Structure 1
Amino acid sequence: MHKNRTVALKQRLSGYQRKALILEAARGVFLRNGFEHGKTSEIAKGAGVSEAMVYRHFSSKAALYRAVLRQTIREQNENHAVLMSTEQGTAGLIATLKRYFEIVVAQREERMISQFRLIMLSLAGDGSYASLVYRRALRMTGRSILEALKQAKEAGDLHGEILDPADTSMFVEHIGTVMSTICALPAAHQPYGSNQDALVLSALRFCCRGLGFTEEAITRHLGTG
């Protein structure tokens, strides 16, 4: 009876739904194994369809891989629009970091949180997906980060040497990715000692201090004492 019901549910799936299932399964396989070693048979199994069905929706493994990359690009563009502040200099950079850590800690943006998990999965595999995401992120944000740091320096909000914008972006990204993984754990298993709001501010202060922002600038732009 259960088997018949499962078959019936599969039959009711639309072509669009099957394609989405295949695409999601493909992303997991390619993340773990890369393009060369990712097998369409494994993708089919993960999607719960036949291998022939995979090729009915995608003409080749390369076409499926390109579809995964297009999806990644769309998601990255959406994330960029959500995170990046329209403000300039110190205010803009701190506002962006605050929004980023709010998403990381609160775990309310399921789309973004799942992407953090995909990054971790890729890093545990061949790393090609994570490398693609990182390179593209640097192209999208590197110039604006450098400009914000320069403006902060000119305003007297930053002391010491301006860090390389690529390193700056990656340091923050790595902290957020690991924090996201930990914050997804059951509350009893989380090692952090602060509540969500305090944890956001702690992560934000940690990064701002590392970038060289003065305590006065951090406090002024956070509006806290």
Structure 2
Amino acid sequence: MNRTRLKATERKFLILKSARRIFSRFGYDAARTQDIAKESGISEAMMYRHFPSKQALYRAVLRQTIREQDESYAVLGPHELSGQGLVNSLRAYFTLVNSAGDDHLKEGFRLLLASLAGDGSFATLVYRRSRRIMGRRIRAALETARIDGDIVGVAITERNTTMFIEHVGTMMNAIQSLRTDAFPYDGDPSEVVRDAVWFCCRGIGFSDEALEAYYSR
């Protein structure tokens, strides 16, 4: 009995893995359940024993992706609510999205892009959760950085700050799927990460002096 449940669990895992890959590649509307079943090595009828509909399968994939994003927030969010913490957080984020490996992670980013190209419901959920989970910490870090003199000029709201940074990161991650000879950035990965951090931090209002000091630590 235990062995049967284990096999069912493994099969369900394989279906979710295949579905995530197909949904991230084609989006919800264009994804075909027969392709998901074929990639999982089972029949469509068998797949429907685990997930009664395409929508149920899609929702299961999204729940899995959201759990992973929550874990990423815990790792990448500013642990120090200051200018230094913001720079550290951005450096970790852009290093992650600019990495060549972890296809599973990249599929999560592509699911977001696929949602934006479709009905946008998953993207809306992701952005709302991001603001709820991270908004207060980002706001506090921005306020501290401004008080410390690290950020100057016209203030950009916490919401716009996080959204603009997310847009840059999502597109950088999507570009990783291009052929090496079509890669549009100059420099090696560490230089691309540094430029992305400086681009975003300058937009927020960081002075070059503060950026140079914090990035080199």
TM-score range, shorter chain: 0.7 to 0.9
Cα deviation for residue 68 of structure 1 reads: 2.4
Gaps of 5+ in 2: 1-5
**What corresponds to 2:188 in structure 1?**
195
Gaps of 5+ in 1: 1-12
> Which residue type is aligned with residue 139 of structure 1?
R
Post-superposition CA distance 1:31-64 (Å, at most 9, x none): 7236xx9775665455443333223223555653
Aligned equivalents of 1:56, 1:206: Cα separation in 2? 49
> Which residue type is aligned with residue 83 of structure 2?
T
TM-score of the superposed pair, with normalisation by structure 2: 0.83
Aligned equivalents of 2:58, 2:106: Cα separation in 1? 22
Q: More deviation in 39-48 or 187-196?
A: 39-48
Cα deviation for residue 29 of structure 1 reads: 4.2
Q: 5 Å matches for 1:75-224? A: 75-223=68-216
**What corresponds to 1:33 in structure 2?**
28
1:33 and 1:126 in contact (8 A); partners too: no
Cα deviation for residue 164 of structure 1 reads: 1.6
**What corresponds to 2:49 in structure 1?**
56
In the alignment of these two chains, the number of paired residues is: 210
Post-superposition CA distance 1:54-101 (Å, at most 9, x none): 232235556534422321221111211221242221011110000011
1:32 and 1:126 in contact (8 A); partners too: no
Larger radius of gyration: 1
SS in 2 for 1:14: helix
Cα deviation for residue 182 of structure 1 reads: 1.7
Aligned equivalents of 1:29, 1:114: Cα separation in 2? 9
Label 1:32 to 1:62 Cα distance change in 2 as closer, same or farther (>3 A): closer
2:94 and 2:197 in contact (8 A); partners too: yes
2:110 and 2:174 in contact (8 A); partners too: yes
Percent of paired sites with the same residue: 46
SS in 2 for 1:106: coil
> Which residue type is aligned with residue 33 of structure 1?
Y
Cα deviation for residue 16 of structure 1 reads: 2.3
**What corresponds to 1:24 in structure 2?**
17
Post-superposition CA distance 1:135-164 (Å, at most 9, x none): 211211111111110001111111123212
